[in-house]
Structure 1
Amino acid sequence: MKSYAKIAIGAGLATALLSSAALAQQTVTLMAYSGLFQERYAKAVVEPFMKANPDIKVEYFPMPNSAQMLGNLRAQKAAPQADVVIMDVSVSKAATDEKLLTKIDEKSVPNVADLYPTARIPDVDGVAVTFDNLVLLYNTDVVKEAPKSWMDLADKKYAGKVAIPGMPDIQGLSLVLIADKARGGTDYLKNVDKGIAALGEIAPNVQTWEPKPEVYVTIVSGQATVGAGWNARAQVNIDTSNGKLGATLPAEGSVFQINTINQVAGGPGKDAATKFINYALGPEAQKAFTEAMFYAPTNAKAQISEAAIERTAVKSMDKVIAVDWIALAKVREPIMNEWRRKVIPLSR
């Protein structure tokens, strides 16, 4: 009987200890991109962080784009449910202006001190966590020679075979800016009429402005033949499709895209969220994610392999069109309205 009593007491203590550990564990809710980004980021950053910090659990809440993330933050403003958000810098600016975020600096997040200067964006509470650029995508089984121009998307041979993530997705906006400059536009903050007109020429060929699950899969499968997408995701899909996806940088150039990591104001995770952000910006996590998905790192101390860095946005810096995403955020809505009026109606 005594032995049974000891076992019962031991089991009770073990249960109590487990319950205590569970209560002590903090949870950080990370809102970030779905699909391939989620798969690679969870493995390269989230899982190693939790292994190093067993008292913190990171729950990944996937969203398809930054605009929807902002919508969620607005809806939850009175009672935030997310702690950390990874989103496009222009949307991060909007969230900053609406006081939805907490300022990240090196006092609370020491690894900020090691970021490239371009990773700290004036008047934005978050900081850059990845750099990327837009590329033209094509199915190599159908398109034997890489297109030379973005306007090749308007070629009648691609009728019904173009896939472009349209606005409010920043990829559609980026394409407008590239086309506007290529056609002689001088100030995208005043108007992008030439860019909108160029997209209007491409629109009749567009099969979808909402490729699902992603534009890369749509083109690899042959559902579409050509389109636009981000270099980092394209590089991964080139590998996983055994080269069936092709990616090229057309003559008109590209734009630099910045994803920021942000702490939600009033989020329940608090100190644990700050700890995760610091890890995500550190050289170990930056190296792991760059080598897993080919986003250019924002931490200057990250030691990236030459093979990986050659496939990131770094290789295209000489063809990048300068864009002030923060200033652009103020005119994004008018551009969206022009898109709705003059581009979408011309689609198939």
Structure 2
Amino acid sequence: MSVKHLVNNNNLIAFLKPNPLVSTGFDSIIDDWLARFISPLTRCSYRHAIFEFFSTLNSDGYSAELLAQFLCLEATQAYELVSKYHGTLIERGLAPGTINQRLTVVRSLVNYATEIGKCHYNLANLKMERVSSYRDTTGISTDSFKLMLSAVDRSTLRGKRDYAILLLLWGNALRRAEVTSCNVKDFDAHEKTLSILGKGKGKQAQKVTLGSNTVNCIQEWLNARGNSKPDEPLFYAVHIGYYGHRLNNDSVYKIVKKYAKLASIQKNLSPHRIRHSSITAALDATNGDVRAVQKLSRHSSINTLMIYDDNRRNEQGRVTSILEDLL
């Protein structure tokens, strides 16, 4: 659906009248706005989302002129336009959480433009979708993960790398971005630590303690690739054409999918599913010690761990069985 279609229905046609002068000073707004976010993953996802927004408004996609026209709307016009965009997201069947994320990105851009004097309205009263508090924390069993590890050919350079990555995902419940952002200097074999950029921690590195087997496997990978410099990526591509390039988040996803398939695991597995599996296994092993497991998961709120623990114990299922036994 284009802006022209959205706007014509609401007598906002003036918004679309070409005026190259209006776009003066708007060329760098997107890049300057995105530069405020520390996480490369956030910058990438926000850029994709805002370009998707403008592509929905206009089939020609994003342009500085289109951005200028949007930011120069009257507040009522902007709310009406974004509300219609909200409607198209619902029509496309997107999940409430995804819809809210897209709307949050638009609101963030508008807030930034307001701060620098390029917009005179905000979207503070924009209505969001109601999101269920249910959190799916299901993963795979320890035995299933062992099958994945056994599927890795550790005699190859690729296998040594992949094995080390899988151990980090399981043993330290790392997020894939925490794995891919590490450099060689972040790994300390003697201290058995890895410095990571945790979610929501900005540029402040966190040190996590590694298991002995993980340390040995990372060292084995580093020795096999040879001549590692401190500022080089801890994990990089080994195939022709991309050798030495830092692995990205999608690369880690593909590694997990590859070994899940080789291990004949039917569940749709991802790096974050392994994180779920690791946290659940830790709760099982510690008899539900959420305080201890919070040190592993690095969740800011203990309430998140309680969701994992509740799902693990399936209290609802236990109570249902009790009720059936009363009949």
Q: Same fold per TM (> 0.5)?
A: no
Report which of the two has the higher share of strand. Answer: 1
- Relative to the length of structure 1, the TM-score reads 0.28
TM-score (norm 2): 0.29
